[in-house]
Amino acid sequence: MSRAQRLLDLIQILRSHRFPVTGQRLAEELGISLRSLYRDIATLQQQGASITGEPGLGYVLKPGFMLPPLMFSEEEIEALVLGSRWVADRGDPHLAEAARNALQKIAAVLPDDLRLSLDTNTLLAGPDLIRPEFDTALPLLRSAIRNERKILLNYRDAQDKLSQRMIWPFALGFFEHIRVLIAWCELRQEIRHFRTDRIVSFEVYELRYPRRRQALLKEWRAQEGIAADKN
């Protein structure tokens, strides 16, 4: 393993932990000696990484450190390209454009050899022949989620029954041909799932709902038995 790759791996390990990690544990995960680990930490600190801690107490990486573009691995570039291509083909127009723009920005700062890997990437996202309905509303729904705004929803369920709900949207699930809005429902007093193709209409209120979306997302994950993201 090259030292550049090892430094990248060290950053990734530190990012995956919210609390200090001992030098011994870091060295074991990287397969290096403690002395090499201390040198790597010093190198990253010199490059601007805000790593705090000391031997015996553990180390933690404060948020905000941006890795130099040259530290992307080829597999990471493949993942970025494939994910961006999937979103560009299956996302609503706003999200698709954002995916294409993001890829262009990444390409603009990559070294020549990695830019070639991006331009010649052969991982392709096949065309979606069944376009989900109601995608035009997704930008408004995403905005309501970001801003933690209540939504008055007119919804038709699988039995074709129409109902009106006041909901607190906090997540949006993207499946192959279905989009699912996840929200706290004031009517049912529990978290419910709403397929966007069954939404008849909705109105976003300026009223902010009383809980944070992160707390609702954590509750939903616990309810569904889904592990939280490390990052």
User: How confident is residue 210, by pLDDT bands cut at 50, 70 and 90?
Assistant: very high
Residue 230 has pLDDT above 50, yes or no: no
Amino acid letter, 77: I
Query: How many angstroms separate the CA atoms of 55 and 7, rounded?
Result: 18
Q: Which two tokens stand for residue 191?
A: 């978290």
Mean of all residue pLDDT scores within the chain:
86
Q: What strands, in cross-sheet order, belong to the sheet with 199-208?
A: 190-195, 179-185, 162-174, 149-156, 199-208
Burial of 141 (0-12, 13-18, 19+ CB in 10 A): buried
Predicted TM-score (pTM) of the model is 0.66
CA 184/CA 219 separation, integer angstroms = 10
Report pLDDT for 229: 57
pLDDT for residue 132:
60
First to last CA, the chain: 24
Band of the pLDDT at 39, cuts 50, 70, 90? very high
What residues pair up with 180 in beta bridges, in sequence order? 173, 195
Torsion of CA 119, 123, 125, 127, to 10 degrees: 80
Q: How many CA atoms lie within 13 A of 131 on its CB side?
A: 9
Q: What is the CA radius of gyration of the chain?
A: 22
pLDDT(4) > 80: no
Q: What mean pLDDT comes out for the span 7-28?
A: 88
SS (H, E, C) the chain: CCHHHHHHHHHHHHHCCCCCECHHHHHHHHCCCHHHHHHHHHHHHHCCCCEEEECCCEEEECCCCCCCHHHCCHHHHHHHHHHHHHHHHHCCHHHHHHHHHHHHHHHHHCCHHHHHHHHCCCCCCCCCCCCCCCHHHHHHHHHHHHHCEEEEEEEECCCCCEEEEEEEEEEEEECCCCEEEEEEECCCCEEEEEEHHHEEEEEEEEEECCCCHHHHHHHHHHHHCCCCCCC
pLDDT in tens, 87-120: 988 888 888 899 988 888 778 767 777 778 788 8
pLDDT score of 218 more than 90: yes
List of residues 6+ apart from 34 with CB closer than 8 A:
23, 24, 27, 55
| Share above pLDDT 90 across residues of the chain, in percent, rounded to a whole number | 45
Q: What are the residues whose beta carbons fall under 8 Å from the beta carbon of 120, sequence distance 6 or more?
A: none
| Mean pLDDT of all residues in 9-20 | 85
